[in-house]
Amino acid sequence: MQVKKILVPIDFSENSHKIIQYGAYVAKQFGAEMEAIFVAQTFMDYSEFFEPQMSVIQFEEDLVASARERMKTFLEENLEPSAACSSMVMTGDIAETILEYAKAQQVDLIVMGTHGYKGLEKVLFGSIAEKIVKKSACPVLTINPYR
């Protein structure tokens, strides 16, 4: 197996810096390209539950623009200048969007953190990492940032 392209999903949480650094380390070991991806959950999925005060489309556009700026700053703050990393910001169902993007971009390996939803949150939303591990067409390396 050749690893030429690595995708690192991040969520800008306090542990994201550990995950992107693991991704950079793995990319360096394989001599692979690395791309970070952030996916904002689509609010249109919840439109039948509430009446938004502002245009959901405008809110999502503002969210994506803000996330692109945050991604640029995040990568500058957490990676060595020698660690080349492209980035992508998208909206949609988080797990499905990551899986579709990885397949379309012919990603060889996904490096991502485990996120421990508990109780009712896990019942309602499930684990993004778990969904990606189960459905991914390529190998997934999961990192527990708490250990």
Of the two residues 90 and 42, the one the predictor is more confident about is 90
Angle in degrees, 0-180, between the axes of helices 16-30 and 56-78, rounded to the nearest 10: 60
Please tell me the CATH superfamily of domain 5-143, with its number. HUPs (3.40.50.620)
The beta-strand segments (E) located in the chain are 5-9, 33-41, 86-92, 109-113, 140-143
Mean pLDDT confidence for 92-112: 96
More confident residue, 118 or 99: 99
Domain ranges of the chain: 5-143
Higher pLDDT, 10 or 125: 10
Name the pLDDT band for 52 (thresholds 50, 70, 90).
low
* Nearest partner of 38 among 90, 115, 82, 95, judged by Cα: 90
Full-model pTM: 0.86
